Amino acid sequence: MPIAKLIILDRDGVVNYDSDQFVKSPEEWKPIPGSLEAIARLNQAGFKVVIATNQSGVGRGLFDMAMLNAIHDKMHKALAQVGARIDACFFCPHAADSDCNCRKPKPGMFQEIGARFNTSLTGVPCIGDGLRDLKAAAEVGGQPILVLTGKGEKTRSEGGLPENTLIFGDLNEAVKYVIGVRG
């Protein structure tokens, strides 16, 4: 039985600014303007909001699980200040060269989300700034949505996007569309 309203968001480059050196501490986690308020609007429209993020910095030894939890704690507190919340945070801690099934573009993390929420991901909006986000979404039948923040402009210019990928300037614009269609 599918949940009527579920949305999956990538973290770095969608909710907060990305860094080529990884977001390794709470001090380095900075929200993209409008992203927290966009999540609040999703909550108000009845959406379950789930983060699905590759965090290979853990597997590379750049930061540990306690630091990742501290970063997510800062994110949750910042969201609470604008009346928003994330319902679940899924992450792959493995290094990029690991042969795990949970690291996007592989579908394992998304399949786990579907299992935990006891729902099909067919048509579920999946918002990311990288091709790996969009490919994982397409693999499980989700609706791939590219935002041009983070690595989004580069992702769009390199092409190869899954069929039916929607493109928006940022999370705020994407959320207006999603709420308009499914709200």
Domain boundaries defined on the chain: 6-182
Quick check: is 10 catalytic? yes
Longest dimension (CA), the chain: 42
pLDDT per residue over 29-63, tens digit each? 999 999 999 999 999 999 999 999 999 999 999 99
Condensed to tens digits (0 to 9), the pLDDT of residues 148-165 reads: 999 999 999 999 999 999
CATH of 6-182, one of 3.40.50.1000, 3.40.30.10, 2.40.340.10, 3.20.20.140: 3.40.50.1000
- Three-state secondary-structure class, residue 44: helix
Which of 12, 18, 129, 170 is flagged as catalytic? 12
Distance from C-alpha of 82 to C-alpha of 94, rounded to nearest angstrom: 32
Tell me the pLDDT band of 1, cut-offs 50, 70 and 90.
Answer: very low
Helices then strands (H, E): number in the chain? 7, 6
* CB contact burial 103-127 (16+ within 10 A = b; e otherwise): bbbbbbbbbbbbeebebebeebbbb
Q: Is the pTM of this model over 0.85?
A: yes
Per-residue pLDDT reduced to its tens digit, 105-144: 999 999 999 999 999 999 999 999 999 999 999 999 999 9
The length of the chain is 183
Give residue 2's pLDDT.
45
Residue 133 pLDDT: 98
